[in-house]
Structure 1
Amino acid sequence: MKILVATEKPFAKAAVDGIREIIEGAGYELALLEKYADKADLLAAVKDADGLIIRSDKVTAEVVAAAEKLKIVVRAGAGYDNVDLAACTAKGIVVMNTPGQNSNAVAELVVGMMVFMARNQFTPGTGSEISGKRLGIQAYGNVGRIVARYGKALGMKVCAFDPFVPADVFKADGVEVADSVEKLYASSDFLSLHIPATDQTRKSIGYKLLTSMPKGATLVNTARKEVIDEAGLMQALEERPDLKYITDIAADAQPQLAEKFGKRVFATAKKMGAETAEANVNAGLAAANQVVDFLKNGNRRFQVNK
């Protein structure tokens, strides 16, 4: 069987070496397609692949149609909206992600972003401390729980909202539970956003929630740009000169936001939440192990297109 690693933005060498050891150690052939610039290259490479490992590469219906033997796709990372789940399901292809492997990297970035904005993007002027401030966390998954732990270690008062997490989990972590997303925003000096982009969440964060936040509040988005109502964000920033927004996924209107609001907004040049050497290796090795475990043992633990 052939396992294809298709990465427009390649894994680190240490990750590739580890993936090779896992795949070839299991008796499978490893094929690499790195830094490809044309979708035609991916279509050709996936034609005879039994397994596919990707990062942010797009597995569209066209890619699925070209994959004559494909049995499994593993997205090395938590998000998987770059994979056409319906097309894969229709063809009997299992899709998995690697939850938790990038979580610490993203959580550390959240802390850095909070400090960066509290200290005026490290430019002259009086900033503020984050200790003693209220940190709200929307979505209490792998990343959210680590952010909560770091926030508490820094002396922040942590509150979270996630209707899918049992109350005893929050209690065990010493985290206050918000009764609603509205109450979470209304009480948070810093709000760390971790919700996925779904039909229910797209453009769900907008004017009403943002303008309910306390004076001087900052929204930190390391999730997806699609969950932000950009028109509402623009209006909220215009009406509330004390609000700040920092994101790891530049808004479509980022040039206009930067021009109008200066140091009150910031976006990384390219999504970097998982861009650490450790996360790169962890996600790659997890993906390889999951491919092998599925092909040899039928393990579907991390399947997302059930």
Structure 2
Amino acid sequence: MLTLLEPESLYPDTALEQRVLGDTIRVLQGNAKKSLLELPQELCDQADALMTLRMAVPKEALDRFPKLRVVLRMGVGYDRVDRAECARRGITVCNIPDYGTEEVADTAIAMTVALRRGLPLYHDAMRADPPCPWGVIRSPIVRRFRGQGFGVLGLGRIGTAAALRAKALGFRVSFFDPYLPNGADRALGLTRMDSLEALMRESDVLSIHCPLTRDTRGLVGAAELAALPEGAVVVNTARGPILDLDALEAGLRSGRIAGAGLDVLPVEPPVPEPALLQAYRAGEDWLRGRLLILPHIAFHSPEAWDDIRLKAAETMRDVLVRGRRTNVIPPESD
């Protein structure tokens, strides 16, 4: 019998997983809080497969699993799994690419709508002591949606969902994704840009949706942000290290960037706090109403939480029992 290890005890029982996996795989739960290194070695020795949500899977952790055949990341991103080391050991790496698609896209659009309609601006102003005068606050962050450029960096499942939502709101939607086959732009009624710089020039709102890889780490830096139109808004619901936070702070301080919505940061939790987060938490006047920060929760809804559990079990069954390639991440794609 094969053994699947859930190191984090995310759920009160394993009944759902056992029902999907059948009687050829037994499911064990660990009680690790922060690291796979916390697990008792006797659990690691038994594991043919590992299914983890929050835990990183570095080489030193892999050393503890002599039988490991499959690592499944219970989410879309897989940047915290040492895929090169897994490949060397013949360990298959999988993810759940269709989990949280609607929720993350909805969050990206919600932050765009909130910022472009000035909701944080007025919310902060009405709570001030004394509150702002009853009326309009002149700010470059407030714009009509129709006719603005909404740029999508990475037109995968989530990027596509965000693009279609933005299009429905009247934005002029374009995207840059060098890995996407030709024709997607025509099928969706979007404009494809042939370079990142071209996308930036057209993006009154930039929404980041690419995975974190060697190629995308630091992809949006000072030069890219400087290419955005004056008064642009930047939204990142993908991965924090894709966006240079210091460059974003500089753009916000100068006023060239009107606002930003961040569900992700380069280090999570952010310790030590970057300068931008310190200014945000201190309520500094120059930033008031211009920045939204969420604690990496764009994926979440009760329905999505149920989805991830079911989809993870189904993927593990396909790969470990049925020998399929469901949601397998090829090593060379990094």
* Offset from partner CA, 1:246-294 (integer Å, 9 cap, x none): 11113552424524623322211x2112111222222222221121122
* Match of residue 304 from structure 1: 329
CA distance in 1, matches of 2:66, 2:214: 30
* Match of residue 305 from structure 2: 280
Residue 221 of structure 2 aligns with an amino acid whose one-letter code is G
Partner of 1:46, secondary structure, is helix
* Offset from partner CA, 1:77-110 (integer Å, 9 cap, x none): 1110111112222221111111122211110111
* Offset from partner CA, 1:1-29 (integer Å, 9 cap, x none): 11112237x25x69x54223212x24321
* Match of residue 27 from structure 2: 30
- Give TM-score, length-normalised by structure 2: 0.82
* Match of residue 233 from structure 1: 248
Which residues in structure 2 correspond to 1:204-243 (within 5 Å)? 204-243=219-258
Which residues in structure 2 correspond to 1:149-188 (within 5 Å)? 149-188=164-203
CA distance in 1, matches of 2:199, 2:167: 17
CA distance in 2, matches of 1:230, 1:18: 40
> Shift in Å at residue 232 of structure 1?
2.0
* Match of residue 290 from structure 2: 264
In structure 2, the CA distance between the partners of 1:37 and 1:78, relative to structure 1 (3 Å rule), is closer
CA distance in 1, matches of 2:62, 2:40: 9
CA distance in 2, matches of 1:91, 1:266: 42
- Give TM-score, length-normalised by structure 1: 0.89
* Match of residue 79 from structure 1: 77
Please state if 1:50 is matched with 2:39. no
Q: Check conservation: 2:36, 2:55, Cα contact below 8 A.
A: no
Q: Check conservation: 2:145, 2:169, Cα contact below 8 A.
A: yes
* Offset from partner CA, 1:111-161 (integer Å, 9 cap, x none): 111122122416145544434422110110010111111111222211111
Q: Check conservation: 1:160, 1:175, Cα contact below 8 A.
A: yes
* Match of residue 104 from structure 1: 102
Please state if 1:144 is matched with 2:159. yes
Partner of 1:167, secondary structure, is coil
Gaps of 5+ in 2: 127-135
Gaps of 5+ in 1: none
> Shift in Å at residue 199 of structure 1?
2.0
Of 34-43 and 187-196, more deviation after overlay is shown by 34-43
In structure 2, the CA distance between the partners of 1:149 and 1:236, relative to structure 1 (3 Å rule), is same
Residue 65 of structure 2 aligns with an amino acid whose one-letter code is A
> Shift in Å at residue 241 of structure 1?
4.8
Within the candidate set 89, 92, 113, 2:90 is matched to: 92
Partner of 2:261, secondary structure, is strand
CA distance in 2, matches of 1:72, 1:46: 13
* Offset from partner CA, 1:23-47 (integer Å, 9 cap, x none): 2x24321112356356443353333
Question: How many corresponding residue pairs?
Answer: 301
Partner of 1:101, secondary structure, is coil
In structure 2, the CA distance between the partners of 1:56 and 1:40, relative to structure 1 (3 Å rule), is closer
> Shift in Å at residue 305 of structure 1?
4.2
Residue 298 of structure 1 aligns with an amino acid whose one-letter code is G
Q: Check conservation: 1:135, 1:188, Cα contact below 8 A.
A: yes
Q: Check conservation: 1:189, 1:214, Cα contact below 8 A.
A: yes
* Offset from partner CA, 1:203-262 (integer Å, 9 cap, x none): 121222212222321110011111122332222222235521211113552424524623
Q: Check conservation: 1:46, 1:63, Cα contact below 8 A.
A: no
Q: Check conservation: 1:43, 1:63, Cα contact below 8 A.
A: no
CA distance in 2, matches of 1:235, 1:36: 36
CA distance in 1, matches of 2:31, 2:170: 43
Q: Check conservation: 1:257, 1:265, Cα contact below 8 A.
A: no
